[in-house]
Amino acid sequence: MTPTPPAPSVSVDALVEAVLAGEHGPLPSELVATSVFWLHHGTRLAGGDTTYLNQYVLVRLGGSFGGCAFEAGEIDPSVCHDSSGAPLDVLLRKAPRPLRIAALDAYLSETRPHRAAAAAGDAEAVTLPTGTPESRARARDAAVAGLLDIEEGARVGLIGVVNPLVAAIRERGGTPLPCDFNLKSTQWGDPVTDDMHAVLDRADAVVATGMTLSNGSFDTILERCRSRGVPLVVYAQTGSAVARAFLGSGVTALSAEPFPFSQFSAEESVLYRYRPAGGA
């Protein structure tokens, strides 16, 4: 597979169609999803009162993994039996949306691994330190916030709330506008809205999680930021290679964290920061 950068895309569905047509590499009909994984875990960071419950579906393709978080009940563990060994084009066409995103992520990760992009100077590899969940989460979210180029007091829409990222935005002088479907307030009592449109209308910059690829809101966020000329930073465990396809086409910067994700290890791990111009 040739590690050539994919052209910027205009929507997730258009990207899937381009991949199915072989515009980004080998035809998916010629490839097989060797393994499909279903993962579920909970996390409560020290000093916090929020337990994050996360579910992921993962697809193994060659030397790469694709990942997508999903809401409770969307996919059950039988997906491992039903989809392992399936032709990749079948998953891209017919699978539930989270599994389609994971399959798309695996394909784009395999055709152009993040490590290859970093070696070519198109991404910056950031090493997260060995340590506790809290120290690693702070390092991760500081790396994400470091992609923001904002003025003091800028309103930063945060679509998908994690408390260390709220703190990191404040440390850079921003005013967070948190939005999440599953939280009512941040660790510090800031109200969290579930109306992303109100946030997108007010924000001077937007930081969105890759989970927006899973729940179908990514295209809306992308188009709204394009139309308003608002910077959009994506921090992605879900669909990290999928979000990369939109750099220069609405996505201003990306923190890409391929599987295995930082929360699954206490050892050093790497995420990759991208900007459309390439390099750091």
pLDDT, tens digit, 9 for 90 and up, residues 88-144:
999 999 999 999 999 999 999 999 999 999 999 999 999 999 999 889 988 998 899
**What is d(CA 220, CA 160) in angstroms, rounded to the nearest whole number?**
15
**What is d(CA 172, CA 146) in angstroms, rounded to the nearest whole number?**
8
- Model confidence band, residue 2 (pLDDT cutoffs 50, 70, 90): very low
Pairing mode, strands 232-236 and 253-256: parallel
Residue ranges in 55-187 assigned as alpha helix (H): 78-83, 88-94, 97-111, 114-119, 133-145, 163-171
- Predicted TM-score (pTM) of the model is 0.92
pLDDT of residue 42 exceeding 80: yes
Distance of CA 149 to the CA centre of its chain: 19
Close Cβ partners of 39 (under 8 Å, ≥ 6 residues apart): 54, 55, 56, 57, 58
Give the mean pLDDT of the chain.
92
Contact in structure between 202 and 155 (CB atoms under 8 Å) = yes
